[in-house]
Chains A and B, each alone.
Chain A
Amino acid sequence: MVLVFAENIKGQFKKNAFEAVTYGAKAAEIMGTECVALVLGTVENAAGLGTYGASKVYHVADSSLDSFDAQVYTAVIAAATEKLGAKLVIMSHSSTGKSIIGRLAARLDAGSVPGVNTIPTVDGDLKVKKTVFSGKAIAEMAIKSDLKVLSVMGNSLQPDASGSEAPVEALSVDVPASRIKVKEVKRMEGIVPLPEAELVVSAGRGMKGPENWGIIEELAKVLGATTACSRPVADADWRPHHEHVGQTGVAIRPNLYIAAGISGAIQHLAGVNNSKTIVVINKDPEAPFFKAADYGVVGDLFEVVPRLTEAIKKHKAGA
């Protein structure tokens, strides 16, 4: 059995949960077994996970699970894994999944691969691929233990909602008391977080100062994109730290990455070069970023960006 831990945010399932379940269903098909989902805490529409390929949804409804504690979540997922006899456990490679996958592997003495971006192949060992060296290379990993744990990198497969709702069954497992206290959760509302964003508009030191970011925000708004930035921009507090992408920031793989006024240093590329399509706007034709770009515009971003925004508005109005 493949068990997918589908995480929720305030009771709602997001794209990363749908991706994980879709991944689990595909892996189960290859392994010739069934895929079930596990949900924790107070949730809405757990049955809907069936449409992504879970044949059943197990629910541990204890409301203490409404706030996240890696230690408690690990104990609960491990108990569910043992109770259901799952052989492969899957979760999202989100801040939650990344905090659990190692703990769970250690607890169950299972082989784990974090941040996979391919469906497993099984000939003898189970094999999956993940990016390593901050996006500069891809490694194929083999897991040798009987029980295996994977976390699925965001945007590495399309959620497939072609199935139908699944029965939801309460699962009773021991929920240990938390040894931490979650005091506050602050999330920006109405914005797709960077790791999940399909469209990203990013800008760098070429912007000259934080007061000029209006044109970037406008472009992002018109596109429905999330904003990002290069490291010196975050270091100088021109932009919030969570927008910093690259080797030492967030690694992303959106469908479209637009970079304005970013030179394309190797450490920046490391976090973004898995984007499907890259557009670079830079006034310096020698900027290294052009070598990694699909489309390039050599010009002054203060003229090009507003022009692009207008062109997109026109396109959207026409479409």
Chain B
Amino acid sequence: MKLLVCVTKTPETTAKIAFTANGTAFDTNGVQYIMNPYDEWYALVRALELKEAQGGSVCLINVGSPSNDTVIRKGLAIGADEAVRINAEPKSSLYVAKQIANYAKSEGFDIVFAGKESIDYNGSEVSAMIAELLDVPFISYASHMELEGNVATVSRDIEGGTEVVEVATPFVISAAKGLAEQRIPNMRGIMMAKRKPLKVVEPIAADDLTEAVGYELPPAKSAVKLIDPENMDELVRLLSEEAKVI
């Protein structure tokens, strides 16, 4: 099995979000970065498990600048065999997907894994786009997956339930919670990662069809109104008359 795992870099989950230049750019000052949790915890680990069970190789792919290499090396430390970084600023989903699909096409992967969404842009688009560009099936929000030969049985999260589908390779899958258990890299993995190949590839030409033109923070909450724990009638009155939500 030849497996490709798309990994992206996101601000760490407790990062304070601020903007500079009149709200036109994300303020990266003091922000720590991590591998997008869905990519690291679920997509990558499930790919590694499949490789361990049936043999094959796991390749990581990222579209980004050289500063992403730390995050990519972490993926290698967790157990991926090799990595490719497409050396470009990931400005829009379709741009990123075109880069990844172009690389994947030339290599012929059996399964392309991605996270269900990036926790910064929250687009949930890149994986679907790759599937379309490769003209293969797409299974989103996978929370469980078994593989027999080249046929996968996948449970995917839908509103208020799950759907079970069967799909043969090649396909693209987006990973949700439950697909695997997070793995912490060990010392040996970290040492080995330094020697694993991280290939840098130049991007193909593609346009950005969407652009973020401004950012703002959600309106600040006014101070909390404290209600006497003995007096829930008062809370109900406020919810009904003031907030008008019940």
Contacts and interface: CB of A to CB of B under 8 A. Distances in A.
B122 to A, nearest CB: 6
15 contacts: A71-B137, A95-B158, A107-B132, A109-B94, A136-B17, A139-B214, A142-B213, A144-B209, A180-B166, A248-B13, A256-B246, A297-B232, A308-B232, A311-B232, A312-B236
B19 to A, nearest CB: 7
A183 B210 contact: no
Interface of B: 11, 13-14, 17, 19, 37-38, 92-94, 97-98, 119-133, 136-141, 143, 153, 156-168, 177-178, 207-218, 221-222, 224-227, 229-230, 232-233, 235-240, 243, 245-246
B126 A102 contact: yes
Of the candidates B93, B132, B162, B216, the one having the most CB atoms from chain A within 10 angstroms of its own CB is B132
A71 B132 CA distance: 7
Nearest to A246: B13
B130 to A, nearest CB: 8
The 8 A-B pairs with the shortest beta carbon distances in the complex, nearest first, are A299-B229, A102-B128, A111-B209, A102-B125, A193-B159, A193-B160, A187-B161, A311-B232
Interface in A95-126: 95-96, 98-107, 109-115
A102 B132 CA distance: 8
A131 interface: yes
A137 B17 contact: yes
A88 interface: no
B160 A298 contact: no
A142 B13 contact: no
A74 B131 CA distance: 11
A151 to B, nearest CB: 9
Contact of B224 (A96, A100, A180, A293): A293
Given A127-B213, A139-B212, A248 B177 contact: yes
